[in-house]
Structure 1
Amino acid sequence: MNKIDVLLINPYDENAIKNALGFITPPMNLMYLASSLEKESYKVKIIDDDLQQNGYEKVSEKAQNFNPKVIGLTATTSTIKSAVKYAELIKDALPNSLIVLGGPHATFLPTKTLKENESLDLIVKGEGEETLVGITNKLSDDDKIDFEDVKGIVYRDPDTGNLKETQERPLIKDLDSLPFPARHLVPSKSYGASKDQTGGIITSRGCVYSCNYCTSSLIMGKKFRSRSPDNVVDEIEEFVYKYGINDIGFMDDTFMLNKRRANDIADEIKSRNIDIEFVASSRVDRVDQSLLENLKTSGMKTIYYGVESGSQRILDLMKKGITLQNAEDAVKYAKNAGLGVLTSFILGYPGETETDMEDTIKFSTKLDPDYCQYSILTPFPGTPIYDELKSKDLIDNEDWQDYTVLKSIIKYNEMGLNSKMVENKLAKAYLKFYSRPKYLLNHRHMFKVILQTVFRSFIIPKLTGSTANGWYQNLDSNSSSK
């Protein structure tokens, strides 16, 4: 077998607020792909241009110097345009390479994406580890390539140019079988907030819930698949003893879905005497006092709750499956355990009124978390709300770079709202939450960052007529806590 080289690229999100905050997350998807390829003895390189910001031409030059047979790109909806720019330049320079695109946007619009972008050869849908290995094996084995038996892809036939779609690929059952992400291929100590180095870890996949605005269960499945506590803590030890990183972010959608497993992970960390601090997210209805206290004693410092609305009617429209009382209880449990709290909220949901948005702003300040994230409902392709609004012609545009969760792209003409009002409410929410005298007194260390972010994101756009884009972790869902 001719072992070919593979290059993986994480596009630069040129408009993201995370750059102002100094918070960059590692490209976990590419790192998992890389380790799976390395397990099969392929030589792999990762260019995280979202971190390094080399630019399109420089990345193209690096690709030419490496001269890989396979170039893999990942993209969210807001970064798809950027990803295609890399693909176009690299395809011109390396016309015989196979350019593969994966990620949420490509998963839900594979045919449309290929039709509109001739530089792309193949789309990987959903989980990519086994699929990309299968694609690369094909290129290594044959002079004449036939991808028909590689499950989970849409590709451009090299002879006819026609698009072909293969069978769906089953989800990976045993997550412990996956090698740890290839952290040696990225500057691991460069991720986190400002100078605080943070390592990302994913301990589970899949979401059993069906929130209207989220794609998580549609990409990773509605069945909760989890790694064993021993396997998880083995990876934590790698962070600490191999990379010297003691600050970790659990990036699961539903880390605490199985409370017993979460407790077991906490117990295993303590039994091995590992000195770490970590952040995790949870639904507000999946925590209790004893669980959070146990996690606190194992190193947990902050919890991230996806509350989403201060109106029970809107929560029900979202199919969130929680109550306002759940949120109040969850924040209380966290504070009692001595944890920091970060909450997220969505404004401008279809059917929402101005009063509902005001209720959300009031409720977010009533909860009084340490940090609060607000976003505008964005109907990402693949979500039920996208399909609903698309069928009613209520999506204002499909200029994907506008899908940033800070810009309104819904036609509210029949809903009692308008885009300008929703964007103004977003600015008001941030300003009201972070300008409270009590908050500023208790978070003096954050004042400069908060002022800088609010000014760049909301004040300057108001003065210039432009719109700031992105948030610190712009996934293809409106909130990263399900």
Structure 2
Amino acid sequence: MDVVLINPEDRTAVKNKLGFVLPPLNLMYLGAALERASFSVKIIDDDLKRMGAERVAQLVERINPLIVGITATTATIKTSLEYIKAIKRLLPDVLTVIGGPHPTFLPEDTLRDCSALDVVVMGEGEATIVDLAENYERRGAASLDDIAGITYREGERIRVNMGRALIEDLDEIPFPARHLVPFRDYETSSQDAGGMITSRGCVYPCRYCSSSLIMGKKFRFRSPENVVDEVEELVEVYGLHDIAFLDDTFMLHRPRARKISEEIRRRNLDVSFVTSSRVDMVQESLLRDLRDAGMSTIYYGVESGCQRVLDMMKKGITVKQAEDAVRVTKNVGVDVITSFILGYPGERPSEMDRTIDFSIKLDPDYSQYSILTPFPGTPIYKELKARDLIEDDWENYTVIKPVIKYEKLGLSRELIQKKLVKAYLRFYSRPRYLLKHSYMIRVFFETLYRTYIEPRIPFRKDRWVEKNE
């Protein structure tokens, strides 16, 4: 085996607290790129298997690959580095590589924090990982100085190479190598397992989001034919008929979105799919076209019910646009998911309450709430870091725990946590809502327990291991 790619165990994410584990789409993209370059690849999804760093390291030792790569979010960076350390102890000569949003923005810090780590891949990884593997296979570690898009260790020094240009033609990227994961083992809906990405990049300047910094401010997109080719593969090869388009803004290029709907209908594909959109991009005729092609649900990042807060976020939308978008979508007969952020710096408690009230007024089918989490790389992170208003306890960067020093802003972390619980309680405990969505009763109480009660229970690793052995 040439390359082993690892998805680390993530005990911090809300999705895992509720029992949902999704196939690692990012690693499947990397695996596909490596396989096309004639490398043999294995993906170990330890977020699914829950073996732990030491047992994964023993498995990797038996495989004895040339390169080990692992992905990391901010919440999982500490755990990811534990895997790297355990593997390096058993295979001191293996090249250890890490990628993902957190190391992309803090590459030098990540290397300094782990002497067992050799390389950080920054940003979009398909071309970089292939370049890295080809060079390392031919010439070893001495050849890393001319590989764009990496930061790496050279003896006692850390070197930052030039950035890599973004991939212009996304149709050239092979479809994710879904055959590299145990697809049927994921205890989740087929919709989640059938996730796919049809575009990259974001042109908007939201201060809490790093998407445009990772994937560029230019909106790059796959052709409608290429997108529907993958949809067809999911249907015919994997037997999936429920699909989630995981783009930040699927409907940003409306003519393309319309052509995708037309192509799905032309091929007579029996699919149901979820998309996302900004509320200022909504067009009723397009919603109808997408609905007729199978769109069942749409996700809107509303974020606040207070215009002043939306302006501070640089969201670029109005409260009225959010109202109109949800109303039109429901009239068309498509389910609506809305998301909201509480605790934005400068937001008043009364404005958080207005957001909660607004979310109920919109009456979407589902609503998600989170606490403002200033992830590295975002404009708000840089501002708060400069003002000494955040703590770099990365495991708390879960969007359900306050990491901002709200006390310095005249508030408290306990208040923000209570607002989050209040939001979920008020939205999901409405008798009228529960009568319409009776299956949400269990999910509601599970969410309440995991976000508010469980974090106050001392963690017992022996119990976790016993439960998951």
Q: Which residue pairs with 1:112 in the alignment?
A: 109
Q: Which residue pairs with 2:250 in the alignment?
A: 255
Q: Which residue pairs with 1:59 in the alignment?
A: 56
Out of 28, 50, 74, the residue aligned to residue 31 of structure 1 is 28
Cα contact 1:6–1:43 (8 A) shared by 2: yes
Q: Which residue pairs with 2:146 in the alignment?
A: 149
Instruction: For 2:222 and 2:385, locate their aligned partners in 1 and report how far apart those are by CA, in whole Å.
Output: 37
| CA displacement at 1:344 relative to structure 2 | 0.5
Out of 399, 417, 423, the residue aligned to residue 417 of structure 2 is 423
Out of 278, 281, 295, the residue aligned to residue 276 of structure 2 is 281
Q: What number of residue pairs does the alignment pair up? A: 459
Amino acid at match of 1:280: T
More divergent stretch after superposition (182-191 vs 148-157) = 182-191
Deviations 1:276-306 (A, max 9, x none): 0111111111111111111111111111110
Q: Which residue pairs with 1:327 in the alignment?
A: 322
Q: Which residue pairs with 2:3 in the alignment?
A: 6
Cα contact 2:277–2:298 (8 A) shared by 1: yes
Structure 2 unaligned blocks of 5 or more: 460-469
Q: Is 1:316 the counterpart of 2:314 in the alignment?
A: no
Cα contact 1:346–1:374 (8 A) shared by 2: yes
Q: Which residue pairs with 1:448 in the alignment?
A: 442
Q: Which residue pairs with 1:68 in the alignment?
A: 65
Cα contact 1:205–1:225 (8 A) shared by 2: yes
Task: Give 3-state SS (helix, strand or coil) of 1:413's partner.
Answer: helix
Amino acid at match of 2:385: K
Q: Which residue pairs with 1:361 in the alignment?
A: 356
> How do residues 87-126 of structure 1 correspond to structure 2 at under 5 angstroms?
87-126=84-123
| CA displacement at 1:453 relative to structure 2 | 2.1
| CA displacement at 1:62 relative to structure 2 | 1.4
The Cα RMSD (Å) is 1.5
Instruction: For 1:422 and 1:197, locate their aligned partners in 2 and report how far apart those are by CA, in whole Å.
Output: 30
Q: Is 1:265 the counterpart of 2:260 in the alignment?
A: yes
Task: Give 3-state SS (helix, strand or coil) of 1:301's partner.
Answer: strand
Instruction: For 1:168 and 1:196, locate their aligned partners in 2 and report how far apart those are by CA, in whole Å.
Output: 35
Task: Give 3-state SS (helix, strand or coil) of 2:151's partner.
Answer: strand
Out of 127, 130, 135, the residue aligned to residue 130 of structure 1 is 127
Q: Which residue pairs with 2:395 in the alignment?
A: 401
| CA displacement at 1:252 relative to structure 2 | 0.5
Q: Is 1:40 the counterpart of 2:37 in the alignment?
A: yes
- Classify 1:178/1:401 alpha carbon distance in 2 versus 1 (closer, same or farther; 3 Å): same
Task: Give 3-state SS (helix, strand or coil) of 2:31's partner.
Answer: helix
- Classify 1:155/1:196 alpha carbon distance in 2 versus 1 (closer, same or farther; 3 Å): closer
Task: Give 3-state SS (helix, strand or coil) of 1:374's partner.
Answer: strand
| CA displacement at 1:151 relative to structure 2 | 0.2
Cα contact 2:3–2:68 (8 A) shared by 1: yes
Deviations 1:368-425 (A, max 9, x none): 1111110000111100000001111111x21100111111111223433211100110
Q: If the length of structure 2 is used for normalisation, what is the TM-score?
A: 0.95
Task: Give 3-state SS (helix, strand or coil) of 1:266's partner.
Answer: helix
Out of 180, 185, 201, the residue aligned to residue 185 of structure 1 is 180
- Classify 1:168/1:435 alpha carbon distance in 2 versus 1 (closer, same or farther; 3 Å): same
| CA displacement at 1:143 relative to structure 2 | 4.8
| CA displacement at 1:196 relative to structure 2 | 6.3
Task: Give 3-state SS (helix, strand or coil) of 1:170's partner.
Answer: coil
Amino acid at match of 2:453: I
Instruction: For 2:419 and 2:398, locate their aligned partners in 1 and report how far apart those are by CA, in whole Å.
Output: 16
| CA displacement at 1:27 relative to structure 2 | 1.2
Q: Is 1:299 the counterpart of 2:298 in the alignment?
A: no
Q: Which residue pairs with 1:236 in the alignment?
A: 231
Instruction: For 2:258 and 2:223, locate their aligned partners in 1 and report how far apart those are by CA, in whole Å.
Output: 12
Task: Give 3-state SS (helix, strand or coil) of 1:252's partner.
Answer: coil
Cα contact 2:14–2:398 (8 A) shared by 1: no
Cα contact 1:192–1:198 (8 A) shared by 2: no
Q: If the length of structure 1 is used for normalisation, what is the TM-score?
A: 0.93
More divergent stretch after superposition (22-31 vs 64-73) = 22-31
More divergent stretch after superposition (375-384 vs 406-415) = 406-415
Amino acid at match of 2:434: L
Amino acid at match of 1:235: E
More divergent stretch after superposition (211-220 vs 189-198) = 189-198
Instruction: For 1:166 and 1:197, locate their aligned partners in 2 and report how far apart those are by CA, in whole Å.
Output: 36
Cα contact 2:136–2:144 (8 A) shared by 1: no
Instruction: For 1:454 and 1:382, locate their aligned partners in 2 and report how far apart those are by CA, in whole Å.
Output: 30
Amino acid at match of 2:165: P
Q: Which residue pairs with 2:467 in the alignment?
A: none
- Classify 1:284/1:144 alpha carbon distance in 2 versus 1 (closer, same or farther; 3 Å): closer
Cα contact 1:353–1:416 (8 A) shared by 2: no
- Classify 1:328/1:404 alpha carbon distance in 2 versus 1 (closer, same or farther; 3 Å): same
Instruction: For 1:104 and 1:191, locate their aligned partners in 2 and report how far apart those are by CA, in whole Å.
Output: 24
Instruction: For 1:140 and 1:280, locate their aligned partners in 2 and report how far apart those are by CA, in whole Å.
Output: 40
Cα contact 1:37–1:133 (8 A) shared by 2: yes
**More helix by proportion, 1 or 2?**
2
Cα contact 2:407–2:413 (8 A) shared by 1: no
Q: Which residue pairs with 2:431 in the alignment?
A: 437
Could you say which structure has the greater relative contact order, defined with CA pairs below 8 angstroms and 6 or more residues apart?
1
Cα contact 2:190–2:240 (8 A) shared by 1: no
Q: Which residue pairs with 1:471 in the alignment?
A: none
Q: Is 1:412 the counterpart of 2:381 in the alignment?
A: no
> How do residues 70-89 of structure 1 correspond to structure 2 at under 5 angstroms?
70-89=67-86
Q: Which residue pairs with 1:22 in the alignment?
A: 19
| CA displacement at 1:72 relative to structure 2 | 0.5
Out of 374, 379, 386, the residue aligned to residue 379 of structure 1 is 374
Q: Percent identity?
A: 57
Cα contact 2:73–2:100 (8 A) shared by 1: yes
Task: Give 3-state SS (helix, strand or coil) of 1:444's partner.
Answer: coil
Cα contact 1:21–1:194 (8 A) shared by 2: no
Q: Is 1:162 the counterpart of 2:164 in the alignment?
A: no
